[in-house]
């Protein structure tokens, strides 16, 4: 627990929670992100010593995982794969891509980290393995439903389509981060889906969802979390 003054009144704050926020800030800051971010700085932001911080997280990797888990928890409140189905899921992903363009720092963390975590010894390796499996599985289900509705433009294996979709999202992020003028991630993704799904563009429906999504994203507590998808 830490005592801090907010809006004039004394507030007790959970140290662990604050640390996760501070960790997020530091790890999402470029250049360097996780690797360059130091426990020293995080401790300083929390207003505590390094040793104090390490009492809660036994080392730097553990704190990283806590940060990632925290984002996931929030993501699930915003884009829930289990709720949506079929085309609706794809639309949500486009919406997500559009939103992501407003939080470059977080995107950069996930982009860099997922590349780094590629090696089995990286502290977040297991995390990303599970995450990609989950995302692919969810998108696979979406494509399977679209296929069942007979809306698939050409013969494709739902799983392969999911891999391609995931790849497209990741790849667009790299180009966009490097040069934001090079591509509009959301438009590019929508274009991609148009190649697979018959009648992907049902404008009225899309706009309805647009409005709904905009509302929830703006109000959503930790909307930034969506990036991790």
Partner DNA sequence: GTCTATAGGAGGATAGAC
Partner DNA sequence: GTCTATCCTCCTATAGAC
User: Taking the complex as a whole, how short is the minimal distance between the CB of residue 188 and its own copies, in angstroms?
Assistant: 6
Buried b vs exposed e over 160-175: b needs ≥16 C-beta within 10 Å? ebbebbbebbeebbee
Decide which of DNA, its own copies, none touches 116; Cβ closer than 5 to 8 Å per partner kind: its own copies
Decide which of DNA, its own copies, none touches 126; Cβ closer than 5 to 8 Å per partner kind: none
User: Taking the complex as a whole, how short is the minimal distance between the CB of residue 189 and its own copies, in angstroms?
Assistant: 9
Buried b vs exposed e over 89-103: b needs ≥16 C-beta within 10 Å? bbbbbbbbbbbbeeb
Structural Rg of the chain based on CA atoms = 19
CA 122 from centroid of its chain's CA atoms: 19
Instruction: Determine if 38 is a binding residue for DNA (CB under 7 A).
Output: yes
Decide which of DNA, its own copies, none touches 30; Cβ closer than 5 to 8 Å per partner kind: its own copies
Among 11, 17, 55, 130, binds DNA (CB under 7 A): 55
Q: Whole-angstrom Cα distance, residue 217 to residue 213? A: 6
Identify whether the C-beta of residue 85 lies closer than 8 Å to the C-beta of residue 145.
Answer: yes
Q: Whole-angstrom Cα distance, residue 86 to residue 145? A: 5
Stretch binding DNA (CB under 7 A), from 45-53, 67-75, 150-158, 211-219: 45-53
Q: Return residues touching its own copies (CB under 8 A).
A: 30-31, 35, 108, 111-112, 114-119, 121-122, 125, 128-129, 132-133, 136, 154, 156, 160, 163-164, 166-172, 174-175, 177-179, 182-183, 188, 191-192, 195-196
């Amino acid at each position: 627990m830490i005592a801090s003054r907010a809006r004039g009144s004394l507030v007790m704050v959970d140290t662990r929670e604050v640390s996760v926020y501070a960790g997020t800030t530091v790890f999402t800051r470029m250049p360097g992100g996780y690797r360059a971010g130091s426990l020293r700085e995080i401790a300083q932001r929390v207003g505590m010593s390094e040793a104090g911080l390490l009492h809660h997280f036994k080392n730097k990797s553990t704190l990283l995982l806590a940060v990632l888990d925290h984002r996931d928890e929030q993501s699930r409140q915003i884009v829930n794969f289990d709720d949506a189905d079929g085309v609706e899921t794809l639309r949500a992903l486009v919406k997500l891509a559009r939103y992501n363009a407003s939080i470059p720092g977080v995107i950069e963390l996930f982009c860099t980290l997922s590349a780094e975590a590629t090696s089995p010894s990286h502290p977040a390796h297991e995390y990303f393995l599970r995450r990609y499996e989950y995302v692919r599985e969810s998108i696979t289900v979406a494509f399977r439903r679209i296929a069942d509705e007979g809306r698939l433009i050409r013969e494709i294996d739902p799983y392969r389509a999911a891999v391609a979709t995931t790849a497209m999202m990741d790849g667009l992020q790299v180009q966009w981060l490097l040069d934001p003028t090079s591509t509009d991630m959301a438009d590019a993704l929508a274009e991609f889906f148009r190649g697979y799904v018959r009648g992907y563009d049902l404008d009225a429906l899309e706009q309805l969802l647009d409005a709904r999504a905009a509302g929830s994203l703006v109000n959503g507590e930790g909307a930034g979390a969506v990036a991790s998808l």
